[in-house]
Amino acid sequence: MIISSQANHPSAAAAPSFRVLSPVQCDQIFQAALECLQRVGVIVQNAEGRELLAAAGAQVEGDRVRIPAHIIQNALKTTPPDFDVWGRDGRVMHIAHGQVNFGPGPTCTYFIDPFNGERRKAQRGDAGLTARVCDALPNMDYVMGLSLFDDVTAVLSPVYEFAETMVNTSKPVVAWANTPATLQAIFEMAAAVAGSEEALRRQPNFMFFTTYESPLKLADHPVANMLWAAEHDIPVICLGGPTVGSEAPFTGAAALVLHLAPVLCALTMVQLKRPGAPMVLGGVPSMMDLRSGRPAYGSPEMSLHSAAAVDVARFLKVPFMGTAGASESKAVDLQAGIEASIQVVFSALSGASLVHDVGFLDCADIGSLKYLVVVDEVISMTKRLMRGITVTPDTLMLDLIEKVGPGGSFLSQAKSASLCRAEAWVPTVLERSAYAIWEKKGQKNSETLAAEKLQKILTTHTPAPLSAEILQRFEEILSSAEKQVQAE
């Protein structure tokens, strides 16, 4: 394990960094994953995926595919090490190692109602609320829905979610889809926002997110969707476990092999379909809780394993999506704060390209906008740490030190005071007042301040609107999708 204050590139500012694995250890895990793919293989339930692999020289027996190492290595050569995604306002999110981008997660069954604080089933509108809050929070770089609602035609839930999200944010979006038809509907909406299909292909405003099953299984629709997205120039994220102890042996090294093997298989199918397609490897190799058997998102091992997975992805020169801001707690409390802080710091120090699941409670079962606000504050603090300290003649300020001299004060010195906002981090939901002042202000704790900040966003923040023409196009796409479902 390596903790360093040296920047990854020459700079006056030495940014902190964190490495769990050495390059030699990364190569050992990579070689073990290659051997696993060739000896054990992966279940690939999609026919086109199997055909692509077979044509490249893989051994296919039923839906089990064994893949020689050279096929994986060739696919890695065509996978870009970085790429860009655009917001609908023209902002660019660069996806690369060391450029850490934070956002919420998807598909929570339950949602903390932001107006009455009650836990309830997620419902239509929750993704829109999430997008509006993320649009206002400065440290949310992209948006996911934080909910899985079923008060619409079930198969079309991701399409309704995408529509809500696009309406309520100008930031880039990460979307999921359960079938190629729903992904196509999402693509059509994104093209309407971009101006045309050609414009969307040049500057994608969303990424497609899917998962694999542990251990070593890629289902039919996720593979079909990945191939469809790659064919249409939409960046692909493939993410999965395993849960260490149940879906992998009780060692971090074995868990990393079982994380890496299926995502390398997914990457290879994507590259065989469209060489050069942008791809992100994702992993949430969380530890199994020894008392309940559930995956422990808040465990230190999850952060440790994820940081190690970043090291391997960096070694392979492929972007990585990890997890932070996902607590096992059922409420925004001390536990939630502790777990989020460790996760966010580890994710930033490891340099993960994308970090999702901000706002998760109860093992990814509850979405909380108040927790999203709290973790945004943690990310803000962490970003200040990651800026490091710039050491130059200008920042050493020896002339000013000589001018003020021993026993003097620098507070009134304009040269120093002008830097206060750049150098000193200022909290928005953490309380720093003296006790007497805190009493006069109502004795509000951080949870109360976070709730007030959330309500202010919900009542005052208005995202940049979409045109009436685009909104009408959304309605047409949804109506067409509903008719298609009814006809099936």
Q: For every residue of the chain, which 3-state class applies, written as one string?
A: CEEECCCCCCCCEECCEEECCCHHHHHHHHHHHHHHHHHCCEEECCHHHHHHHHHHCCEEECCEEECCHHHHHHHHHHCCCCEEEECCCCCEEEEECCECEEEECCCCCEEECCCCCCEEECCCCHHHHHHHHHHHCCCCCCECCCCCCCCCCHHHHHHHHHHHHHHHCCCCEEEECCCHHHHHHHHHHHHHHHCCHHHHHHCCCEEEEEECECCCEECHHHHHHHHHHHHCCCCEEEEECCCECCCECCCHHHHHHHHHHHHHHHHHHHHHHCCCCCEEEEECCCEECCCCCCEECCCHHHHHHHHHHHHHHHHHCCCEEEECCECCCCCCCHHHHHHHHHHHHHHHHHCCCEEEEECEECCCCEECHHHHHHHHHHHHHHHHHHHCEECCHHHHCHHHHHHHCCCCCCCCCHHHHCCHHHHCCCCCCCCCCCHHHHHHCCCCCHHHHHHHHHHHHHHHCCCCCCCHHHHHHHHHHHHHHHHHHHHC
155: DSSP letter: G
88 φ, ψ (degrees, to nearest 5) = -70, -10
| Alpha-carbon Rg for the chain in angstroms | 23
- Position 5 scores a pLDDT of 40
- In this predicted model, what pLDDT tens digit does every residue of 408-422 receive, in sequence order? 999 999 999 999 999
**Domains in the chain, ordered, with CATH?**
2-71 (no CATH), 74-387 (3.20.20.480), 392-422 (no CATH)
- Position 385 scores a pLDDT of 94
* Terminal Cα-to-Cα distance of the chain (whole angstroms): 54
Alpha carbons 361 and 112: distance in angstroms, whole number = 10
Q: Among the residues of 157-251, which ranges form H helices?
A: 157-168, 180-194, 197-202, 220-231
- In this predicted model, what pLDDT tens digit does every residue of 26-65 receive, in sequence order? 999 999 999 999 999 999 999 999 999 999 999 999 999 9
- Position 345 scores a pLDDT of 97
173-176 sheet: strands from edge to edge: 101-104, 354-358, 320-323, 279-283, 236-240, 206-211, 173-176
Task: Give the pLDDT of the chain (488 residues) as one tens digit per residue.
Answer: 554 444 333 444 567 888 999 999 999 999 999 999 999 999 999 999 999 999 999 999 999 999 999 999 999 999 999 999 999 999 999 999 999 999 999 999 999 999 999 999 999 999 999 999 999 999 999 999 999 999 999 999 999 999 999 999 999 999 999 999 999 999 999 999 999 999 999 999 999 999 999 999 999 999 999 999 999 999 999 999 899 999 999 999 999 999 999 999 999 999 999 999 999 999 999 999 999 999 998 999 999 999 999 999 999 999 999 999 999 999 999 999 999 999 999 999 999 999 999 999 999 999 999 999 999 999 999 999 999 999 999 999 999 999 999 999 999 999 999 999 999 999 999 999 999 999 999 999 999 999 999 999 999 999 999 999 999 999 999 999 999 999 98
- Position 14 scores a pLDDT of 62
pTM: 0.95
Alpha carbons 260 and 419: distance in angstroms, whole number = 45
Cross-strand pairs, 102: 355
